[in-house]
Structures are given as C-alpha cells and as structure tokens.
Structure 1
C-alpha cells in the first residue's frame, strides 16, 4: 500500500487516452440512466405542471458545476485524488478520496437495483435478483477489465443504439394536452427547491470526470464537448418531462411508478404490439454503460490511493456490485437507497465542488 501515490498526477500513456470529442458520450452515458423512466413523477409531486422549469434550472446549474470542475482540473491537473492531496494533505485526503470511491460504486448499485426492479415489475415478476445482477456484473467486469478505451467505446455504441428511443415521445405528445402545462409559476420557492433537490439525482454522472480527466487527449478542448453532452441530457429530460406532463394528469402521474413505461404502452407499430418490452430490453445497454463507468472510476480510485492494480481492484468491487442489490428486496428499500444517493449527490455538486473551486482560486496551480 502506498498512500503517497495520489500525491503526484497520474501518468497515462498516449495510447490509453481518448479523443477529446468522445467525452460527449461519456457525459451523456453517465447521466442518462434508468431514472429517466420515472423521475418526472418525483418532481411533479412538488411542482406538478411546472416540472419542466425545474429541468431547465437543473440543466443550467449542471453547466456551472461542469465549468467549475474543468477550471479546477485544468489548473491543478491530474485527477480528484491528486487534487485532494494538494488541497488537504496526505491524511485528510485519504478519507475524502475513499468516500468518493464508495460513492462511485454505490451509484452503480443504485442503477442496477432500480433496473432490476423495473424488469421484475414489467417483464419477469418471478426472476431472482441475483440472476440479473450476475448477468450485468459479469458483462461489466469484462468491459472494465479491457480498459478505459473500451468503456468509452461502449458509451459511444450505447448512444448510437438508444438515441432513437427519444422519438417515442411523439406518441404521448400527440395524444396529450398542452393545457396540462398551465398555469405557469404556480408554486412557492420552497416547492421549487424541493423539486430541484429531487431532480439532481437524474443529473448525477458528471462527477466521474474527476476520475477520467487524465485520459482525455486534449482536456481543454474536451470542455466544449462535455457541455454539449450535458445540454443533450437536459434536452432528453426536457422532452421526457413535457411528454409525461401532457399525457398524464397530476393525479394519474402520482399513481405511477414508471411513467415512461406507461407511455410506451401507447406506442403502436405495424410489427410490434408491446413496445414497452422492447424499451426495457434496450435500456439494458444504458444500464451497462452506467455500471461500467461506475466500476471503472471506483477501481481507478483504489489504484490511485492504495497502489493496488486496477485489474485486481475490479474483483472485490464486482463482488460487492453483484451481491449488494440482493439485500434491497422491497420498493421502499429501493426508494430509500435512491433518496440517500440523491441527497449525497446534491451536496456533492452544489456544496463540495464549489468548495473545491474556491480553494482552487486561492492556491497556485501545479504543473502536471
């Protein structure tokens, strides 16, 4: 174990780096997850027809946080673990970095368990949790074991293979009612703030940048593409929110766990009757890239902090990723897990990253 390894910026061979434009797919791939199937219901609980306003505000705030992250990383170089060492010293940086490693892994657990619940509710009610968990973790282990370039390639193919699903919102918008979006600005500031905190869970994913930043071929040029990726995510969430609000009344929406899956029920194609089954199946690709990025970043953290080879670190982390979902057996427990990560992610994005940004302004940059 070598706790001093995180003191110096990581060296990444040029053959292991990715083109700066590919950060677009990493941002979109890490932000769009299984939560897109039901997030509108949780926002609408507080602000109903004004939920689309929260999506816009959330998207704009993410651009500000992303700008702060690039400012920190461009100035000080390396990754989050190196920055922690620069800002807080050897001993304080250790628990902070370890907390991030834990967080990266738990985000993967949340995504996996939530998707398994969707599959159990809509397709295979009797399927054991461990079977789906094993299937996804085995694939994730294989992908991550091949290196970060393969993870990025999967993110690219995930985007190409699933972006067409956004066009399915045509059907609920076509049969929806614009009047459902009125009146505008009909709630108090407290309600908007509560909805904003809930929305943050769906925007989580940009914080992975702290781990893979050294793998970008030209980090400064990558910033533009990262912002374009965040804008794409906001656009997808906006389209999902509008279609859901227009198709369902507020009372109907609160009675649904997976509004997007309910919308897919009305998708009619000449050769397909139950489109929601196709949608859930294709979402497995989305879940896979989420898990791959989460496992890669957490194993990368162990490599940086404890000087354990990443290929070795993947093994115990994969076991945890496989075994943990089994303990969350009810809808209540899954919701609680999502709430905990949502709260942690809120303070991470809107408190901890601004704190790092302020510290960065006060410190001199270091050459990498």
Structure 2
C-alpha cells in the first residue's frame, strides 16, 4: 500500500477527461437535491419574508468560495489531496484527506436518508429504510464503478429530465400573495447570519470539484462553467423560495416539513390526481447524481491516500452508504444529521478553504 501517492499530481488520460462545459451539469446536479423540498422552512425560521435575500447572499458566498478553489487549483495543479501534501507534508496530509473523504461520504448519507424520509412520509409509510437504501446505494455503486465520464453523462441527463419540475412553481405563485414578501430587510443582522449558515447545506456539492478537477480538459476554462452552474442553482432556489413564501403564511410554513411537496398538492392535471408522487419519483433520479458524485469523491480520496483503485474502494464505501441510514430512525435524528453536516460544510467553505487560499498565496505554484 502506497501512502505517498498524493505527493504527485494525479495522471489522468485524456480519454478519461470531460469537456470544461460539462462542469456546469456536475455543479448544478450535485447542488440541487432533496433539500430543495424543505429548505425554505429552515431559513424562514430566522428571517421569514426576507428568506429570498438570504438565498442571494448564500449564492454570492458560494461564488467567492468557487473563485478561491480555482485560484488554489489553477496555481498548484493536481487535486485537493495533492494540495494537502504540498501544504502540510505527508503525515498531516493523510488525516486531512481522510477527513475530507469521510465528509464526502457523509453528504451522500444525508441526501439518501432525507430522501428516504420523504418517500416514507408521502408515498410508502410502511416501507423499510433498508429497502430504499439498498436500491439507491446499489445504483450509485453501479454508476461509480463505470467511471467518471459515465457519472458526468448521467448528470447531464438528470438535468434535462428534471428541468420541467421548475415550471410547477407557476401554481403556488398564481395562488399566492405578493404581500407575504413584504416588508424587506425587516430582521436583525444576527438573524440573517443564522439563516445564512443554515442555507449552506442546500449549496453542498460544488466542493466535489476539489476531487475531480484533474479530470477536466483544459481545467482553467471550467471556472466560468462552475460559476454558471452555481448561479443557476441560486436562481432555482430564489424561485422556490419566493413561490413558497407567497403561498404559505409564516405560521403555516413553520408547521410544514416539506413545503414544496405541499405546494405540489395543488398542481392539477386531468390525468394526474397526486402530482407529488410524480415529483418525488423524479427526485429519485436527481439524488442519484448526488450520491454518485459524493461516493466517487470519497473513493477518490482513498485512492489518492492509499492507492486503492476506485472500483475496489467503492464496494465498502457503498456498503456504508447502505447501512448508515438505518441508524437515523426519527425526524429529530434526521434533522440533527442535516444540521451537523451543514455546520461542517459551513466551516469547510468559509474557514478551511479560505485558509488554504491564504497559504497558497505564499506558496510557489506547481512547476510547468
């Protein structure tokens, strides 16, 4: 076992790389997941009708982090695991890289367990957690085992197949009340800050780029596409937030766990009686790319630290993804899982990555 592999920048064959434009689909595909079904309630708890302003601030903050990420990666080359070695040396880089890999896996567990809860609450109350875990962990394993280009292709098709869901916001906006959005800036800065921290969880996913950066052709050109992807996510979140705030009063909103699913109950077509069943089913497609990217990034970390091939490490990692959701059995436990993961992501985005950015300023770049 080679514990020193991350000392060297990863060598990726040109045939295994993706076009920089496809980063758009990887970023937006990883960021938008099951959280969009309920995130408005959590930020509205602090700022009510000003929630859409927090979404804008959260999106701008992510753009800053993406800029710092590319500044580090473009200057020093390689991936985050190689940068750990450059900045901290062999022995300190190993635990840092393993913690990052564990974080990537934790994001997959959060997505899967939250989606399972939505299915259990709205579609099949009696279905065991392990059944859905087995299905989605198995599918994620299969996708990851086929390679990164396959993951990218699925991200593209997930985007195309689910884009139409955004048009369902027409119904709550049509029946909503603009007055619910007023007055603007009606809360203290501390309230905005607390809501901003909660909003971070909904933007998780773009940081997988730290692992797959070497898999991008002419990777410096991918930066604008990463920004476009995150900007598109922000726009989708703004529309979702505004439609939810217009349709529900603050008191109603705080009594709901899944506001978007409640909105879907008013979506009517002559041939569909329960549209929320269709929506949840399509979100099953959405979370597949969430899970696949998170698993791949986690396995990539193990590959870079221990020199274990991804097609081998994905087996135990997928097994953990299958088993972990069963340990979170109540709404409170699932909420706590989301809260702790969101806090870790907040400090990763706004403390650890800025620290790496500052270190990179004083470090020499990679040799050409």
Query: What TM-score, normalized by structure 1, do the two folds share?
Result: 0.99
Matches within 5 A, 1:194-273: 194-273=194-273
Matches within 5 A, 1:95-134: 95-134=95-134
Q: Deviations over 1:112-146 (max 9, x none)?
A: 00000000000000000000000001111111000
Q: Is 1:143 the counterpart of 2:137 in the alignment?
A: no
SS of residue paired to 2:243: helix
Aligned length: 368
SS of residue paired to 2:187: coil
For 1:345 and 1:21, the matched residues in 2 are separated by 26
CA RMSD of aligned residues (A): 0.6
How far off is 1:309 after superposition? 1.2
For 1:359 and 1:326, the matched residues in 2 are separated by 40
Q: Deviations over 1:32-89 (max 9, x none)?
A: 0100000000000000000000000000111110000001000000000000000000
2:366 aligns with 366
Q: Deviations over 1:131-177 (max 9, x none)?
A: 00000011111110000000001100000000110000000000000
Q: List structure 1 segments (4+ residues) > 6 angstroms apart after TM superposition.
A: none
For 2:320 and 2:181, the matched residues in 1 are separated by 43
Q: Deviations over 1:264-311 (max 9, x none)?
A: 000011211110000000000111110000110001110010011111
Q: Is 1:32 the counterpart of 2:32 in the alignment?
A: yes
For 2:48 and 2:182, the matched residues in 1 are separated by 10
For 2:55 and 2:348, the matched residues in 1 are separated by 19
1:8 aligns with 8
How far off is 1:255 after superposition? 0.1
For 1:279 and 1:304, the matched residues in 2 are separated by 38
SS of residue paired to 1:103: helix
1:81 aligns with 81
For 2:114 and 2:367, the matched residues in 1 are separated by 42
For 1:299 and 1:268, the matched residues in 2 are separated by 43
For 1:322 and 1:204, the matched residues in 2 are separated by 21
For 1:308 and 1:280, the matched residues in 2 are separated by 36
2:301 aligns with 301
How far off is 1:29 after superposition? 0.7
Q: Deviations over 1:310-335 (max 9, x none)?
A: 11100100100000101101001000
For 2:142 and 2:204, the matched residues in 1 are separated by 24
Matches within 5 A, 1:275-354: 275-354=275-354
How far off is 1:2 after superposition? 1.1
Q: Deviations over 1:190-232 (max 9, x none)?
A: 1000000000000111110000000001111111111000000
For 1:367 and 1:257, the matched residues in 2 are separated by 52
For 1:232 and 1:12, the matched residues in 2 are separated by 29
User: Any gaps of 5 or more consecutive residues in structure 2?
Assistant: none
SS of residue paired to 2:99: helix
User: Any gaps of 5 or more consecutive residues in structure 1?
Assistant: none
How far off is 1:367 after superposition? 2.6
For 1:44 and 1:290, the matched residues in 2 are separated by 25
Matches within 5 A, 1:42-57: 42-57=42-57
2:67 aligns with 67
2:174 aligns with 174
How far off is 1:98 after superposition? 0.5
